[in-house]
Amino acid sequence: MPVNLHPIDPFQLKTVAGVRLGTARAGIRKPGRRDILVIEVESGSAVAGVFTSNRFCAAPVLVCREHLHSSETRYLVVNTGCANAGTGDEGLADARTTCQELAQLAGVESEHVLPFSTGVIMERLPMDRLLAGVAGALADLEKGTWADAAEAIMTTDTQAKAYSIQARVANSNITVTGIAKGAGMIHPNMATMLGFVATDAAISQSLLKGLVKEVADASFNRVTVDGDTSTNDSFMVMATGRASNAIITNETDPAYAELRSALIQVALPLAHAIVRDGEGATKFITVQVEGGQTIEECLKVGKAIAHSPLVKTAFFASDPNLGRILAAIGYAGITDLDVSKVRLSLGDVLVSEHGGRAASYQEEQGQRVMKEAEILVKVELGRGSASTSVWTCDFSYDYVKINADYRS
């Protein structure tokens, strides 16, 4: 059961001028479901992405990196059902063939196409069905919607994930719409996190490359379910430049910060949706770390807490087990941490200070907070003014069940 995750509202999803979407039912893994998405962006759009740091990255990730480096992007093609990862040279050839075939049908160069795959790993793509689906999705470009697109990239997600806003950048109206999929590495064979965000704002290609990293760091890189890093993770931002803002070419331009903020306003709810939809999840947990010397050390502490199976099972049990959280803070890697200055709160309840239990703390108060579906863990490190947040879910019987039973 996803935690406070509501079905998407197709009418809330705004079209983005310069972007067309097409989907198809190609039967990649299961018959009858949408499993191919093609995104077309107008010539002259800026497109940039960040990809998994996993050395065993999937074939499409390798091809994306190559093509982004050499050329502008006109088409993104996504299939679900098969990740094309751990498939060696043959998988690489399949990803290239996909780009070539789409390029030929669309009348562009192969380098103008970026491929993405998600699904079962160590299996080859069914190329005949895939290519038929690509042709079908191209033919659907006139009428495809963001809601269809969100559905077409799902694997074991229980709900499609999409979100849209309108914002002001340099006194112009812009639109940002995005989709994502992933159940936070909880579905290991279908582990990929994919995110695609489009805007009609105008920004230079070179500047977008840095911006997409900043947006990912403030959203998808701040959520974790179990700390595993998939072979296929990809996050793409497309900017068509059809809005009326003057093209942003310098990161000191105030419009740069405005656009960053608008993109994060879409990327962050999408990232949260992945955590909320983590199968087995019963709680949505915000770990807020303040008072660090640097954001990096705040992040270390936040991730140590968010990754600890002991902490996560305590959340599942609604057990205010402070020792597990203190222990995670202690091993997070801040070697000169003065634990006597650390303060820990659950929601609005101060639970620990001066290296031990807070004098005012009563376990019933902690218990009350832990029973909520949305929990705030606040850590004050007492050594500086940097802060950050990470988001995670709890760790339940169903996590083991899903992962143990998945292929049986």
Q: So which residues are the catalytic ones?
A: 192
User: Is 57 in contact with 65 (CB distance < 8 Å)?
Assistant: no
Size of the site for its own copies (CB under 8 A): 65
**Choice between 13 and 370, CB closer to its own copies:** 370
**Choice between 45 and 352, CB closer to its own copies:** 352
Cα–Cα distances (Å) from 41 to 28, 29, 199, 284, 399, in that order, read 25, 27, 10, 35, 38
Q: Quote the DSSP letter at residue 44.
A: T
Binding segment for its own copies (CB under 8 A), chosen from 55-63, 72-80, 255-263, 286-294, is 55-63
**Choice between 364 and 405, CB closer to its own copies:** 405
User: Is 99 in contact with 109 (CB distance < 8 Å)?
Assistant: no
Rounded least distance, CB 244 to its own copies, Å:
43
Under rule CB under 8 A, residue 327 binds its own copies: yes
Under rule CB under 8 A, residue 364 binds its own copies: no
Side by side, the strands of the sheet bearing 36-41 are 19-24, 36-41, 75-82, 113-120
In which residue are the tokens 């009563």 written? 362
Give me 285's structure tokens. 């947990």
Residue from 158, 206, 340, 362 that binds its own copies (CB under 8 A)? Answer: 340
Helix 295-307 with 322-330: angle, nearest 10 deg: 140
Binding segment for its own copies (CB under 8 A), chosen from 12-20, 72-80, 106-114, 349-357, is 349-357
Binding segment for its own copies (CB under 8 A), chosen from 30-38, 194-202, 313-321, 369-377, is 313-321
Residue from 80, 230, 234, 392 that binds its own copies (CB under 8 A)? Answer: 230
Rounded least distance, CB 393 to its own copies, Å:
13
Residue from 127, 246, 373, 400 that binds its own copies (CB under 8 A)? Answer: 400
State how far the Cα of 219 lies from the Cα of 216, in Å rounded to an integer. Answer: 5
Under rule CB under 8 A, residue 191 binds its own copies: yes
The contact mask relative to its own copies for 379-398 (x = CB under 8 A, - = no) is ----------------xxx-
Under rule CB under 8 A, residue 254 binds its own copies: no
Q: Cβ neighbours of residue 89 under 8 Å, at least 6 residues apart?
A: none
User: Is 114 in contact with 75 (CB distance < 8 Å)?
Assistant: yes
Under rule CB under 8 A, residue 130 binds its own copies: no
**Choice between 20 and 378, CB closer to its own copies:** 378
State how far the Cα of 307 lies from the Cα of 195, in Å rounded to an integer. Answer: 22
State how far the Cα of 50 lies from the Cα of 214, in Å rounded to an integer. Answer: 10
Under rule CB under 8 A, residue 319 binds its own copies: yes
Residue from 127, 246, 317, 373 that binds its own copies (CB under 8 A)? Answer: 317
CB environment 218-245: b (16+ within 10 A), e (fewer): bbbbbbbbbeeebbbbbbbbbbbbbbeb
Rounded least distance, CB 18 to its own copies, Å:
36
Under rule CB under 8 A, residue 189 binds its own copies: yes
Longest dimension (CA), the chain: 71
**Residue 1, burial from CB neighbour count under 10 angstroms (0-12, 13-18, 19+):** exposed
Q: Which residues bind its own copies (CB under 8 A)?
A: 53-57, 85-91, 121-122, 185, 188-189, 191, 226-231, 307-310, 313-314, 316-317, 319, 321-324, 326-331, 334-335, 337, 339-340, 352, 354-357, 395-397, 399-401, 403-408
